[in-house]
A and B are shown apart, each in its own frame.
Chain A
Amino acid sequence: MNTSLNTALRISALIGVEANPSTPATDKPAAKAYTTPAAGVQPHLVFDNISRQYPSPTGTVHALREVSFTVARGEIFGIIGRSGAGKSTLLRSINALEIPDTGSVAINGLKVGSLDEDALVKLRRRVGMIFQHFNLLSAKTVRDNVGLPLRVAGVAPEQIRARVDALLDLVGLRDKADVYPAKLSGGQKQRVGIARALVHEPEILLCDEATSALDPESTQSILTLLRDISSKMGLTIVLITHDMAVIREICDRVLVLNHGQVVEQGEVWRVFGDPQAEATRALLRPLQHGLPADLAAQLIDDLGNQAGDVLLSLRFNGSAHPQGVSLQQLALLGPDATLIHGGLDRIRGHAQGNLLVSLPVASWEAIKIRGGSHFGGGNNNDRFQGADFIEVLGYVPART
């Protein structure tokens, strides 16, 4: 992969200048002309107070309500929400496939909503896009699909050929250049989609549920490819998904949309470790090690004077113990403590997750009383330094 990527970059560096549609010749000198400013000065994308509504048979649908955020250059930014949360509208406002009713989207400070068709065509050649259902042309071969964006931009055939070959190398499909998309697997189709989206060497890549129609294995390989491309080409990626696993896998920051509103945004590890909004928690639930059903059935709220076990949930949010969970700390729960369910994930260098531990009520009481430096005291007696948060889920009576 590395060598082929380098080849791709070298070749495009060789032919890029003449072929780049945003370079002089046809450029208008007016303010609408599209230029790439120096990196790092301003956010790459600025969404300013965007609202969008549609009429529908059941009344007005508010697809987006006063959405504002920014995306930094070179980051992988995820937008997540349930279907109908407005993700798709938000993503399409970046390349003006949809225009918001109010508010604006700016790329490098240029507002996309105000562009005429010429400027828009030019802009879209700097913003690649891939789709859930790939949207490859069935009547064209892989080569012609990938080359089409260059062809309609008037690039010479030899240059198109060289660039397409380089990109097919990059996505590992050089041997499929002359087949029709119908003969490819889902993962291969998406690779063609990625090659097509990158053929103009864009600065932004938009991913519309790019892995939602793929099997888990293809999903992994496509996500790996996207991460590779992003780091080596310095591309800004904005992706929408309903799958938190995708966000965890490749995103730097995430924005959670619910009913057209931003309910939460921030670095992925923070949002995963300590979700604030109920919508976020609901989306995260499938990824978390919740209480198994058989245990839940046995749990009671109070043991009374019976003997039994207490079930604890230890949660790690990645801020206090980013490197992981100290086994020494866990050992403080005593020799009778049993780790029964749970897991940790390392997200952007922050370990987080939750562990379910059961231990006899007697030892738990003893630990709580011993308290001291490890378990705090007073009104904070649920704190445990070995975890960021500790919660008593309930009790399981001892079998008699």
Chain B
Amino acid sequence: MSLPALNKYVQAFFETLLMVGSSALIAISLGLVLAIVLTITARNSLYPKPRFHRGLSATVNVFRAVPFIIMLVALLPVTRFLVGTTLGTWAAVVPLTVNLIPFYARIAQVSLNEVDPGLVEAARAMGCRRWHIVRHVLLPEALPGIVGGMTVSVIAMINASAMAGAVGAGGLGDLAIRYGYERYETRVMFEVIVILIALVSIIQLFGEKLSRRLDHKH
């Protein structure tokens, strides 16, 4: 393989990393906040606000229902406002992030909901205030699930980033589509897929290991 050809892969690889990495960072932070808000405003939870909870939950559902490719186009004005352009790698970060926030929020919410109510009761009985309970009980106890959810989300995002090629974002998926599909260079497509498989496997392996290390339940 010639150097420029190799360069093409390296560039695509880093574009994917940049897209996925920066959107994941933003989306996971915001998604976690959203998950906490959803959890503690539920009925019988720490700050019960049933109407607010229902509204927020419905909004999350709306965002989760819209297909990514449509969101990509629908968000163009927002992207232009935030990034200044609707083309390129950074432009793809906006829809990827918006797409991932509700997805990750739901995963994290499941983990937070699974925390034994007995632990929350024990914390109340020992004189914890409500934010202490979020900080010392809900988050640490749900952490293995929260980290496991990150793994799932990042991998889902690598997948979605292929579609970001539609806004000229580049990346591995885009490489596979342009060369493999549009130019019938099947070999490029296979090579890209092998790289993606390797990438996904490494993230999965690392994610599982981290999640296991954080889990002291057994």
Contact = CB atoms under 8 A, between A and B. Distances in A.
Contacts of A136: 122
Interface string A102-134: 000000000000000100011011011101010
B17 interface: no
Contacts of B143: 139
Contact of B122 (A121, A131, A182): A131
Contacts of A138: 141, 216-217
A148 interface: yes
Contacts of A97: 121, 124-125
Contacts of B125: 95, 97, 124, 127-129, 206
Interface stretch (B27-35, B52-60, B128-136): B128-136
B127 A139 contact: no
A135 interface: yes
A224 B54 CA distance: 50
A182 B214 CA distance: 13
Given A148-B136, A152-B136, A182-B216, A137 B119 contact: yes
A119 to B, nearest CB: 11
B126 A180 contact: no
A238 B57 CA distance: 42
B183 interface: no
B129 A124 contact: no
Interface in B196-218: 214, 216-218
Nearest to A133: B118
A180 B216 contact: yes
A183 to B, nearest CB: 9
Interface residues of B, number: 22
A149 B126 contact: yes
Contacts of B121: 97, 131, 135
Interface string A19-31: 0010000000000
B42 interface: no
A340 B141 CA distance: 56
A135 B136 contact: no
Nearest to B126: A149
B140 interface: yes
A163 interface: no
Nearest to A120: B127
A181 B217 CA distance: 8
Interface residues of A, number: 31
Nearest to B137: A137
B116 interface: yes
A281 interface: no
Interface string B99-130: 00000000000000000101101111111110
Nearest to A183: B216
A320 interface: no
Interface string A133-156: 101111110000000110111000
B116 A135 contact: yes
A177 B117 CA distance: 25
A21 B129 CA distance: 14
B141 A139 contact: yes
B216 A152 contact: no
B115 to A, nearest CB: 10
A135 B122 contact: yes
A237 to B, nearest CB: 15
Contact of A121 (B119, B127, B141, B217): B127
A21 B127 CA distance: 10
Nearest to B117: A135
B77 to A, nearest CB: 43
17 contacts: A97-B124, A117-B129, A121-B127, A122-B127, A124-B126, A129-B122, A135-B116, A135-B118, A136-B122, A148-B136, A149-B128, A151-B136, A152-B126, A152-B128, A152-B129, A180-B216, A197-B126
Query: A-B pairs with the 6 shortest C-beta distances?
Result: A135-B122, A139-B140, A180-B216, A124-B127, A149-B126, A125-B127
Given A148-B126, A149-B126, A152-B127, 4 more contacts: A135-B121, A138-B216, A140-B136, A182-B217
